Structures are given as C-alpha cells and as structure tokens.
Chains A and B, each alone.
Chain A
Amino acid sequence: MNFEFPALPYAYDALEPHIDRMTMEIHHTKHHRAYFDKFVAAIQGTELENKSLNEIFAQISKASAAVRNNGGGFFNHNLFWEILGPNGGGAPVGKLAEEISKAFGSFEDFKTKFNDAAANRFGSGWAWLSVKADNSLCVCSSPNQDNPLMDVHDCQGTPIMGLDVWEHAYYLKYQNRRPDYINAFWNLVNWEKVSDNYEKALK
C-alpha cells in the first residue's frame, strides 16, 4: 500500500477567520479521513492497490463508484490543504503569473472565471485551475469528488489548484453564502505551492 493519510500542514485554526477551526478539523479528520479509509478499503487486494492515483484516475471510468468517489475525495483534499496557507493571498509571480495573464487576459479576469466556475457548480463539487496536455491553463469545475485527472472529466489536465465547494467546506461559517466563502478563499491561496504544482505539471 503506497498511500498515506497526510497530516494537515498547519494548525486547524491557522486559516481563521476565513475558514474556521471547527470546519477545518471536521473536514480533515472526518470527511477527508473517511475518503481515505474507504478508498484504501476499496482497492485493497485488487489490481489497483499498487497503482498510482494518476494511473487509477486515467482509467476511472472502469473502476467502481467507491474508487472514483473516495479516491477522488482523498486526492482532491490533499491538493486543497496544500494550496491553502495562513500566509496565503496576494497574486502569483513569475511564469505562472505570465501564463495566467496570457490565458485569461489578467489576474482579475482569471479570478472572475474561477469564481464563476466555483459559484455555478450546482450541488457538490470542485473548481479547478489545471494544466492541459498542451501546457495551456484552464479553469473548470467538476461534480462531487471528480477531478480533471479522471478520464470522465470534460476538461482533462493536471489540477494545480482546487477549491472545494461542497457545503461541508463552508456551511458552519457561511451557510448559504457560497460566494462569500469563495471570496475569502483568495486570502488563503499559497501561490508558491500553486507555482510549484504548475512547474511540475508542465510537459
């Protein structure tokens, strides 16, 4: 088994006031943990056991719903915790900043597009910034715990930044006000990590 449940890279209250301590704690120790445990149970003793997540996602249409939902939930939250941070916010620099301007017009235009993707995803899901096979950037959203690495996704690529818009991600603090949560998210983005993900995703 080559999968491990990651510790949160900061304290549960580190993202206050934008994301409250209780939400972080339940989100990490209950939701994320449950995805991990169920994913491990679903692949244990199967041929998927020794594959990488990327390999599993590339053929997810052939896997069970348990692998898709929980494998997705495991990976998506790993990425989510990583790209957030107590010292986040601001704007990207360097190559990623240039590419964002090139792809979307400006950083502000990119934010608008990403906000729309996150706000308009009806029901549970995620908004993504990904790098497509031709190295171009793209913003999209996915339902439930799907992600752009999955062969079922309509805009496939390598996600370098994701925003969880399941109600569990924001309901204790924001209730029905998802747009407020999305706005708060920008204060937390760890652009260094997103840039790092970007460099690694380039082919």
Chain B
Amino acid sequence: MKTFFLNFIMASAMLMLTFNSEAQQAAKSKAPQAGKPAIEAVSATPVFTGTGTDWFISIKDAPFPGLPYTYEALEPVIDKATVEIHYDRHHRAYFNNYKKAIETSPETGEMSFYKLFGSITEFPATFRNNAGGFYNHVLYWSNMSPNGGGKPSGRLMDAIVAKFGSYEEFVKQFEDAAKTRFGSGWAWLSVDLATNELFISSTPNQDNPLMNTVERRGFPLLGIDVWEHAYYLKYQNKRPEYIQNFWNKLNWADVQARYEEYFTLVSRLK
C-alpha cells in the first residue's frame, strides 16, 4: 500500500515537473524545517534529502525526489538544458538502476544508505555506482538554490574558520579538490565520522565519503559534481569556471542544516 502510495505521488510529481513560479513562491514562504529547507519547495513531491529520518529508512523505500526548483532556476550558473538532462536522465537512471539491483539482492533493500555505503565493497558494483549516484545527486540538488550564494554563518562558519583558517582558504582548498579530481567524480565537505572535524576530499565516479572505499570516512554536507555531464553543455573543458560559479548558487542554509543535524543524529548512527 505504501509503495502504491509512493508511486502515485511520484506520478503526480512527474506531471508537475514544470513548476510554476507561484508554487515556488508559496513554498519559499513556508518556514523550512531544520534539515529540510530546500526540497520541500514543491508540495506533493516526495521528500528525500538524505537527512533526518532519511538517514534511517531502507533504500528500497527512498522515492525519487522532486527537483526543489525549476530547470532554469540555476541560470546563468547552470543552464536549463543541463539541469533538465542531469536531473531527469542521469539522476533518474541511477535511481532506477539501484531499485532494479535490489530485485536481485533483496537483502540490500532493507539497509539504510548509511549502512549500505559503510559496507559497499561487499555488494555488487551496481550498488556502489547507482545507489551512490542516486544519493550524491540528492545532496547536489539540495545544496543549490536559485537564491544561493553568500557565506555560511553560525556554528558552521566557526568550524570552517577553525579548521581552514579562513573562509577564503576553505574555498581555495575545496576548489582545488574539485579541479584536480581527474576524470569523473565529486569534491566534498564532510564531517569526519571519527573526530567530528570538517574535512575536504574528493572521490571518483559515484563514490562518496560514507563509503568504506575512502581513506577518511565522513558525513557529506556539501558536494559538487565534477562529472563532465554536470557542466559540459555550458562550460565544455572549462571546469574551473563551473566550480567558481557554483558558489553563487550554493544553498548555505542547507549545508548548515546538515551540519547541525549531524550532531543531533550522530549517536544513532554509530
């Protein structure tokens, strides 16, 4: 019944893919709940942000979430065609592929993303690639906003300055990680699962810092997709320009909410 309901909601969400700006305005004025600021922008769209209770649900129950803004909302930083293809083709394919993979190894369907990623090397590569791809893109869309930009504040800003010396130094190190990842992959700002410290890393393909394939495991707060598909239509070989412009759409409220939530939920994870 639950599955049916989700399917129904998802079907409705598909019809709503071209959101009107009124719906967006209405959604924006809703006070965001801690940890779920962005995705709720579109009502009747299934919510999955990789935060809150999403940390504990079974991967088989995760819905394909709505995009929290219109396809052109990230212009001029990311063009409409790129967002549409990226969300509706690439992201959706990762989602469909990992759901299909669950059919052949049903035991994985019961695991949370956190559990699965923590032992990802024990499962077929399709989970690493597609469940990783699904989760990473949820974070990516949630990390951006048409009204993004600016700087972090509060506890997150304090931690950034404490760790990197200054906000500017953090930006530089994050950009370096994103620029120097050779081939397809991601750069991340995460909280170290062992020490609770912030750190920057990058991973190949659709790996992420929660996977047991990385040197240093962390809970990702902020991720930038540096697969060529994320920027090629607009930037072609100029990845550094895409990375620089990314800051202008970065939703720091979302990153901060993830950081706060990490400390409230971390004891349940360990």
Contact = CB atoms under 8 A, between A and B. Distances in A.
Interface string B159-173: 000000000000000
Given A171-B228, A172-B233, A176-B85, A65 B182 contact: yes
A123 interface: yes
Nearest to B88: A176
A125 B185 CA distance: 13
Contacts of B204: 123, 143
Nearest to B81: A175
A175 B89 contact: yes
Interface in B141-184: 182-184
A172 B233 CA distance: 6
A26 interface: yes
A122 to B, nearest CB: 5
Contact of A168 (B89, B90, B232): B232
A167 interface: yes
A30 interface: yes
Nearest to A23: B236
Contacts, number: 56
Contact of A167 (B93, B185, B205, B229): B229
A31 interface: yes
Contact of B228 (A69, A122, A144, A167): A167
Nearest to A22: B236
B227 interface: yes
B186 to A, nearest CB: 11
A69 B229 contact: no
How many residues of B sit at the interface, in one of the four size bands?
A: 20 to 34
Given A144-B182, A167-B232, A123 B89 contact: no
A123 B205 contact: yes
B265 interface: no
A166 B85 contact: no
Nearest to A31: B237
A26 B232 CA distance: 11
Contact of B236 (A125, A143, A166, A168): A168
Nearest to A171: B232
B26 interface: no
Contact of B184 (A30, A31, A123, A175): A123
Interface in A173-197: 175-176
A171 B90 CA distance: 12
A65 B129 CA distance: 24
A52 interface: no
11 contacts: A30-B236, A30-B237, A34-B237, A65-B182, A69-B182, A123-B184, A124-B184, A167-B184, A168-B232, A168-B236, A175-B89
Interface of B: 85, 89-90, 93, 125, 129, 182-185, 204-206, 227-229, 232-233, 236-237
